[in-house]
A and B are shown apart, each in its own frame.
Chain A
Amino acid sequence: MASIQNKKRHQTPRTGGRLPPGLGLLLPTLLPFGLLVMAVILPGFMFESDQTASTIGLGPAAWPEAILRAMAVFCVLWIARDVWVLGAAGRQPTLSFPVEDDHYHFGKAIVGLLLIIAYGWSLPLFGFAVTTTIFIGIWCLFGGLRNLMVVVPVAVIGTIALLWLFMGLALMPLPRGQGIFDNFSIWLLRATGIY
């Protein structure tokens, strides 16, 4: 719900978890250049080589090209403003980093993102049931919940409840996994009465 920002406890400087100041100025200035390059070169990659764009009417390329061109124009405007701004001292670039209410742990965020990616990537390999149980378990441990008497039941019962809800009730074909994991998933689905 509300973020508890106990100001007394967080006496650490606000910049604590943010990027170094040099990078903080560099990134927002480079971003419009990156987007501009993208907007300029992408139209060349619109179709695969074996395709020929239809020539009736405006054709399938007209709209995306117009949009990318407009995006390039706005990127140029953005860059122009930044150049003008950076020339004068004491002004901020157009894009500015958000000021965090709390201390921001970059390391923790990156590990969290990697965990989520690993979860998505392993879903089709090991199946929804196995992957989800492990993911919930690891995430809870990583998130500071160290009591296994809580973590294990939450992960197992939570997964079975989700299986029941989505594969049993809503009839969604969630991934069952490959090879023996497929067999295990089928066994589990039978054991829980879903199949």
Chain B
Amino acid sequence: MAALDLLGGGFLAAFQFWYFMTIVTGLLVGVVAGALPGISFVNAMAMALPFTYVMEPTQSMLFLGGIYVGGVFGGSISAILINVPGTPASLPATWDGYPMTKRGEAKRALTIAVTASAVGGLVSALVLTFLSAPFASFALKFSQPEFFAATLLGLVSVIAIAKDQPVITMVSLLLGIAVGTVGVDPLYGQARFSFGVPEMESGVRFVVVMIGLFAIGEVVDLLATDRDLRPKKTGGKAIGAGFRDILNVKGAIARGTGIGCLIGMIPGAGATPGAVIAYGIEKQVSKRGKEFGTGVEEGLAAPESAKNATTGAAMVPLLTLGIPGSAATAIMLAAMMLHGVSPGPLLFIMDPSMVYTIFAAMIIANVLMIFAGIGVAQLFSTLMRTPPAILAAFIIVLSVVGAFGVRNNIFDVYVCLAFGVLGWGMKRVGFPSAPLVLGVILGPLAERYFLTSMANAKQDWTVFFTRPISATILGLALLFILWSLVPSLRGALRRRH
């Protein structure tokens, strides 16, 4: 029970005044930054990195960990309230969260979201604390073919979540993957589709595409419909979420958490595919699957718990192996290295108190997140009372700053604006934009996993089917496609008769 003793010591350390305040500050910074349209939590963590120079190593990890946990949730606040995901992982929250807001159930949606996120995050933090070692060796078994299979599963789950025709969803998804191929290719270092513009060689980043498609399109619609963002007054029952509401979605939360924990450990994947896969699976499993997209509680709870369940799991390979699986954990690695601390197996032997303080802090941060989340959500609901014109102007400015901040590059602002116009047009003709964004996120990952797998197998494509884990995941993906196509095939047959 050495682990419990160490964890106890970790809790004692984490509850010291300055450490505790660091966690709280990080959490609040994360939730607010995540909730601001345009500023993603990865952005916020990169901006926070210089502040960690003056902190001691443990404290800097608590600060960044707080931002990470808070930021992954924060994006859902703006997704639920104004249909603009603050962070790519919050994309699914716009599908069932925003319709709830339209019904006047914003508060209920936010309560369900924050509870689901906290539960997911907490379980994930416990997994990190107690199962790091077995999970780490499990993670090492995964290689490029498995990563490719998992990414493919994320891509096909888009078909399952589609409200639209599968054919159009596929076109949108493939268009997104094609957009993702712009710029230097991952293996050969050759620029593609640059059309002679040097800036195009840097490629198109998904955050920039997402900001353009969602934030700008939404703001223009806001202007054009004279819509009001002020909270809708509704009578009686539908104000907040009770304990009962949460109990009703406990199955969705459990499934989402499980999926998130597994996906989180896969390097490169992270919160967004976790949330999307959880939504897709929940849609198939839930009794109300057909109603998904109209404001169903399960459809909100499952992806919310999944995306926060990736936070702790993503830190497993970072802390145990010294291998960061995502942009967020890469920034944490940088913070540790700048302090001369190298994560990896040696860290557990050389400085276990630091490791267990981080574990304790992750647990504390997820509990505190319920309060921070609700507090900031309250603040944002209040902000909605400002005149829509002012709000819209600031959303645009924040979006532009966010697009710029991804790589401190003005060209990304132009790309963002181009996708803003495109997104507006797509919305007007009813062409779905969510599959496109997911294509841009997952496409480049799928490409490099595919090409590296092939290079490692002497260009033999059977490698994806001869490795047991990869074959299993691919089988799941195939099942998933068939399962989700059943209703539309049945519909087509019925129409014929």
- Direct contact between the two chains A and B in their complex (CB within 8 A): yes
A residues touching B (Cβ–Cβ < 8 Å)? 1-4, 17, 19, 27-28, 31-32, 35, 39, 42, 45-48, 51, 53-54, 56-64, 67-68, 70-71, 74-75, 77-78, 81, 94-98, 100-106, 108-109, 112-113, 116-117, 119-121, 123-124, 132, 135-136, 139-140, 142-145, 154, 158, 162, 166, 169-175
Q: Is the CB of B410 within 8 A of A139?
A: no
Q: Is the CB of B390 within 8 A of A145?
A: yes
Q: Is the CB of A2 within 8 A of B192?
A: no
- In the assembled complex, the Cα of A31 lies from the Cα of B171 at a distance in Å of 11
Comparing B18-26, B132-140, B258-266, B381-389, the segment that makes contact with chain A is: B381-389
Comparing B334-342, B450-458, B465-473, the segment that makes contact with chain A is: B450-458
Q: Is the CB of A117 within 8 A of B192?
A: no
Q: Is the CB of B196 within 8 A of A48?
A: yes
Q: Is the CB of A170 within 8 A of B47?
A: yes
Q: Is the CB of B174 within 8 A of A74?
A: yes
B190-243 CB contacts (< 8 Å) to partner A: 190-196, 216, 219-221, 223-232
Q: Is the CB of B389 within 8 A of A145?
A: yes
- In the assembled complex, the Cα of A116 lies from the Cα of B170 at a distance in Å of 30
| Most chain B beta carbons < 10 A, residue from A31, A81, A158 | A31
- The interface residues of chain B lying within 8 Å CB-to-CB of A96 are 430
Q: Is the CB of B431 within 8 A of A45?
A: no
B31-86 CB contacts (< 8 Å) to partner A: 47, 50, 81-82
Q: Is the CB of B400 within 8 A of A123?
A: yes
Q: Is the CB of A109 within 8 A of B47?
A: no
Question: Which residue from chain B places its CB closest to the CB of A107 in the assembled complex?
Answer: B224
- The interface residues of chain A lying within 8 Å CB-to-CB of B485 are none
- In the assembled complex, the Cα of A96 lies from the Cα of B165 at a distance in Å of 11
B residues touching A (Cβ–Cβ < 8 Å)? 47, 50, 81-82, 101-104, 106, 165, 167-168, 170-171, 174-175, 177-178, 181, 185, 187-188, 190-196, 216, 219-221, 223-232, 381, 384, 387-390, 392-394, 396-397, 400-401, 404-405, 408, 410, 413-414, 416-417, 420-421, 424, 427-431, 443, 447, 450-451, 454-455, 459
- The interface residues of chain A lying within 8 Å CB-to-CB of B381 are 1
Q: Is the CB of B414 within 8 A of A120?
A: yes
- In the assembled complex, the Cα of A179 lies from the Cα of B226 at a distance in Å of 39
Shortest Cβ distance from residue A168 to the other chain B in the assembled complex, whole angstroms: 11
Give which listed residue, A19, A105, A172, contacts B401 with CB less than 8 A: A172
- In the assembled complex, the Cα of A71 lies from the Cα of B181 at a distance in Å of 14
The 3 closest A-B pairs by CB, nearest first: A143-B389, A2-B232, A109-B224
Q: Is the CB of A1 within 8 A of B220?
A: no
- The interface residues of chain B lying within 8 Å CB-to-CB of A109 are 220-221, 223-224, 424
Chain B, interface SS category? helix
Q: Is the CB of A63 within 8 A of B447?
A: yes
Shortest Cβ distance from residue A178 to the other chain B in the assembled complex, whole angstroms: 12
Q: Is the CB of B225 within 8 A of A105?
A: yes
Shortest Cβ distance from residue B185 to the other chain A in the assembled complex, whole angstroms: 4
Q: Is the CB of B389 within 8 A of A113?
A: no
A-B CB contact pairs (8 Å), 20 listed: A1-B229, A2-B229, A3-B232, A28-B429, A31-B431, A39-B178, A42-B193, A47-B192, A63-B181, A64-B193, A67-B174, A74-B171, A97-B429, A117-B421, A132-B397, A135-B396, A136-B390, A166-B401, A170-B47, A171-B50
Question: Which residue from chain A places its CB closest to the CB of B410 in the assembled complex?
Answer: A124
Q: Is the CB of A145 within 8 A of B387?
A: yes
Q: Is the CB of B404 within 8 A of A143?
A: no
| Most chain B beta carbons < 10 A, residue from A31, A54, A63, A143 | A63
Q: Is the CB of A140 within 8 A of B389?
A: yes
- In the assembled complex, the Cα of A144 lies from the Cα of B193 at a distance in Å of 42
- The interface residues of chain A lying within 8 Å CB-to-CB of B393 are 135-136, 139-140, 143
- In the assembled complex, the Cα of A113 lies from the Cα of B175 at a distance in Å of 23
Beyond contacts A2-B229, A74-B170, A120-B400: 19 other A-B pairs, Cβ-Cβ < 8 A, are A1-B230, A3-B225, A48-B196, A54-B190, A62-B451, A63-B185, A70-B174, A96-B430, A109-B220, A116-B420, A117-B421, A139-B389, A140-B387, A140-B389, A140-B393, A144-B387, A144-B389, A145-B390, A172-B405
Q: Is the CB of A94 within 8 A of B188?
A: no
Q: Is the CB of A67 within 8 A of B410?
A: no
- The interface residues of chain B lying within 8 Å CB-to-CB of A175 are 410
Shortest Cβ distance from residue B187 to the other chain A in the assembled complex, whole angstroms: 7
- In the assembled complex, the Cα of A47 lies from the Cα of B184 at a distance in Å of 11
- In the assembled complex, the Cα of A139 lies from the Cα of B396 at a distance in Å of 10
Shortest Cβ distance from residue A31 to the other chain B in the assembled complex, whole angstroms: 7
- The interface residues of chain A lying within 8 Å CB-to-CB of B185 are 60, 63
- The interface residues of chain A lying within 8 Å CB-to-CB of B397 are 132, 135-136, 158, 162
- In the assembled complex, the Cα of A109 lies from the Cα of B82 at a distance in Å of 18
- In the assembled complex, the Cα of A70 lies from the Cα of B443 at a distance in Å of 14
Q: Is the CB of A100 within 8 A of B225?
A: yes
- The interface residues of chain B lying within 8 Å CB-to-CB of A124 are 410
Q: Is the CB of A67 within 8 A of B181?
A: yes
Q: Is the CB of B188 within 8 A of A54?
A: yes
Give which listed residue, B168, B175, B178, contacts A95 with CB less than 8 A: B168
Give which listed residue, A3, A104, A112, contacts B228 with CB less than 8 A: A3
- The interface residues of chain A lying within 8 Å CB-to-CB of B430 are 28, 95-98
Q: Is the CB of A95 within 8 A of B228?
A: no
Q: Is the CB of B225 within 8 A of A104?
A: yes
Give which listed residue, B103, B171, B404, contacts A75 with CB less than 8 A: B171
Shortest Cβ distance from residue A15 to the other chain B in the assembled complex, whole angstroms: 13
Shortest Cβ distance from residue A109 to the other chain B in the assembled complex, whole angstroms: 4
- In the assembled complex, the Cα of A57 lies from the Cα of B188 at a distance in Å of 10
- In the assembled complex, the Cα of A144 lies from the Cα of B192 at a distance in Å of 45
- In the assembled complex, the Cα of A135 lies from the Cα of B450 at a distance in Å of 45
- In the assembled complex, the Cα of A16 lies from the Cα of B497 at a distance in Å of 37
Give which listed residue, A54, A113, A140, contacts B421 with CB less than 8 A: A113
Shortest Cβ distance from residue B497 to the other chain A in the assembled complex, whole angstroms: 15
Q: Is the CB of A3 within 8 A of B227?
A: yes
- The interface residues of chain B lying within 8 Å CB-to-CB of A102 are 225-227
Shortest Cβ distance from residue B430 to the other chain A in the assembled complex, whole angstroms: 5
Give which listed residue, B82, B387, B389, B394, contacts A1 with CB less than 8 A: B82
Shortest Cβ distance from residue B410 to the other chain A in the assembled complex, whole angstroms: 5
